[in-house]
Amino acid sequence: MASGNESTRDRELLRDTGLSRRDFLVKGGSALALLAMMDPAHFAQLAGAAEDGQVIPFLDRPPAAPEAAVKAYGELNRMDWQALNEWITPNDQFFSVSHYNRPVIRPEEYRLEITGLVRNPKVYTLAELKRRPRQEVVFTIECAGNHGFDWFTGGIGTAKWAGTPLVPLLQEAGLRPEGIEVVFFGADAGEEEVRNVKMSQQFSRSLSVSDATRPEVLLCYEMNGEPLPPQHGYPIRLIVPGWYGVANVKWLSRIEVMETRWAGRFMTRDYVTIREEPQSGGGTVWTQKVVGRARIKSIAARVTSQGGSYRIEGAAWGGPIDRIEVRVDNGPWRPATITRGKEQSFAWKFWNLEWTDATPGEHTITSRAIAREGDIQPAADDPLLTKKHTYWESNGQITRRIRIA
């Protein structure tokens, strides 16, 4: 079906629900069909087609994204936890966040400049980068704003990213000893104003030299075996396994080594976490830290039933995870079983728990991930979260609500 068949109203609905065009087309392609899909009962029916049982829909479901959010970040294509079946997120179901425009770059015109405090500045073509050694990583990208709003719970996805490692390129460029910061610029740009100074700035993020020279950092040109789709940064994006989404600069155009810390918008004004932290002598200090490495997190994605027995299924990510525990209502924490991704460093883990003593009525389900060093995903009422005044890094334990018939 040609996209031209959609009415304006359909397009508006599509945008408001956060459903992808594909969802829409698969399910019949009319505004009525779309409205039917938004009815939780119908959702259950659709998801019930999953092979291992009938999905019991959670009572809490994210509301539609507000129009302003779609305007600010583009088509977010948020993931639907309840429909999560595949450990690798298909490209057309992968969420996307863009703060400026989404440039369309012709491969033959693409250039990547490596410059600044290096002995041998150089400009690479796409063909030159693709001829270099190939490296792959399965990495779960989560936007640091995920779960910062009730409507934004699907800003996450897992892909197998392929590209060439960055560190040999930096070595060939010859880092000068004064260089402490590696700044990555995208080809996208937007209007910014700081203290009445107006300018058009490119998207930028930086890494310290020691973070930028880690062996897993990639100049990535492939996502799940396909060239990077345009909205995910074609032809080249930075992939920084273990870091929040914002570090993974799309449409990478320039790498510059500098002698100072970088103070661009996405390092100092946006994607910063502001907390009120207790001081040892009493009182609090307000801290403001740049969002960087991903924090440990988990969620119960759905509950399925098969012939009267129930299973809780979920995911955990954002650090070296040792185990996941699940609690129903105010009961004891019970250990879940990791079913996928156990040996993977940078990919989410899938887990489940057989819920053998489910009783009719309404229940809450909470999960918590526990890191190898013993770090526990904080409870929602942990001061780490209640004293956090910005929505980034909302990694608190998530409680879902469900009704068992």
Ligand X SMILES: Nc1nc2c(c(=O)[nH]1)N[C@H]1C(S)=C(S)[C@@H](COP(=O)(O)O)O[C@H]1N2
Binding mask 335-354 for ligand X (x = CB under 6 A): --------------------
Of 48-56, 94-102, 304-312, 345-353, the window that binds ligand X (rule: CB under 6 A) is: 94-102
Residues 199-238 that bind ligand X (CB under 6 A): 203, 231-232
Report the residue number, 188 or 393, with the smaller CB distance to ligand X. Answer: 188
Residue 110 near which of ligand X, Mo ion, none (CB within 5-8 Å, type-dependent): none
How far apart, in Å, do the first and last CA atoms of the chain sit?
39
Token pair of 52 as six digits: 């291992």
Bridge partners of residue 198, in order along the sequence: 193
Cα 297 → chain centroid: 12
Pick the binder of ligand X from 89, 135, 248, 394 (CB under 6 A): 248
Under rule CB under 6 A, residue 99 binds ligand X: yes
Which partner from the list ligand X, Mo ion, none does 186 bind, CB cut-off 5 to 8 Å by kind?
A: ligand X
- Contact pick of 246, 321, 398, 402 for ligand X (by CB under 6 A): 246
Under 8 Å CB-to-CB from 296, ≥6 apart: which residues?
316, 317, 318, 319, 321, 369, 370, 371, 375, 376, 377, 395
Nearest-angstrom CA–CA distance, 200 and 98: 16
Q: How far is the CB of 132 from ligand X (least distance, A)?
A: 22
Q: Which of 43, 58, 81, 95 binds ligand X (CB under 6 A)?
A: 95
User: How near is the Cβ of 287 to ligand X at its closest, in Å?
Assistant: 21
Phi/psi for 54 (5° steps) reads -85, 130
Minimum CB–partner distance for residue 292 and Mo ion (Å) = 13
| 34 contact partners, CB below 8 Å, separation of at least 6 | 10, 13, 14, 17, 19, 24, 27
Assess 219 for contact with Mo ion (CB under 5 A): no
What residue 95 binds from ligand X, Mo ion, none (CB within 5 to 8 A, per partner kind)?
ligand X
Minimum CB distance to ligand X, residue 265 (Å):
10
Q: Residue 367 and residue 381: Cα distance in Å, rounded?
A: 14
CB 74 within 8 A of CB 95: no
| Position among 20, 93, 96, 377 found at the interface with ligand X (CB under 6 A) | 96
Residues in the chain: 405
User: Which one, of 297, 262, 10, lies nearest residue 116 by Cα?
Assistant: 262
262 near ligand X, rule: CB under 6 A: no
Please name every residue paired with 115 in a beta bridge, in sequence order, or none if there are none. 256
Question: For ligand X, which residue of 14, 79, 129, 143 counts as binding (CB under 6 A)?
Answer: 143
Q: From the list 143, 291, 358, 402, which residue makes contact with Mo ion (rule: CB under 5 A)?
A: 143
Residues 171/120, Cβ–Cβ less than 8 Å? no
Rounded Cα distance, 38 and 138, in Å: 32
Residue 48's SS3 state is coil
Which residues, other chains included, contact 212 with Cβ-Cβ below 8 Å and sequence gap of 6+?
166, 167, 170, 182
Q: How far is the CB of 232 from ligand X (least distance, A)?
A: 4
Name the nearest CA neighbour of 336 among 347, 349, 346: 349
Which of these ranges, 23-31, 41-49, 97-105, 285-293, lies near ligand X under the rule CB under 6 A?
97-105
Considering beta carbons, is residue 66 or 331 the nearer one to Mo ion? Answer: 66
Rounded CA separation 35/31 (Å): 6
Q: What is the DSSP string of 310-328?
A: EEEEEEEESS-EEEEEEEE
- Among 249, 291, 370, 398, contact with ligand X (rule: CB under 6 A): 249
- Tell the smallest beta-carbon distance from residue 146 to ligand X (Å): 8
Contact call for residue 245 and Mo ion (CB under 5 A): yes
Q: Yes or no: say if 303 and 338 are a contact pair by the CB < 8 Å rule.
A: no
Q: Minimum distance between the CB of residue 97 and ligand X, rounded to whole angstroms?
A: 4
Among 137, 187, 236, 246, binds Mo ion (CB under 5 A): 246
Separation of alpha carbons 354 and 356, rounded Å: 6
Interface size with ligand X, residues (CB under 6 A) = 20
Q: Does the footprint of ligand X cover residue 267 (CB under 6 A)? A: no
Q: Which residues bind Mo ion (CB under 5 A)?
A: 97, 143, 245-246
Q: Which residues bind ligand X (CB under 6 A)?
A: 94-100, 141, 143, 186, 188, 203, 231-232, 245-246, 248-251
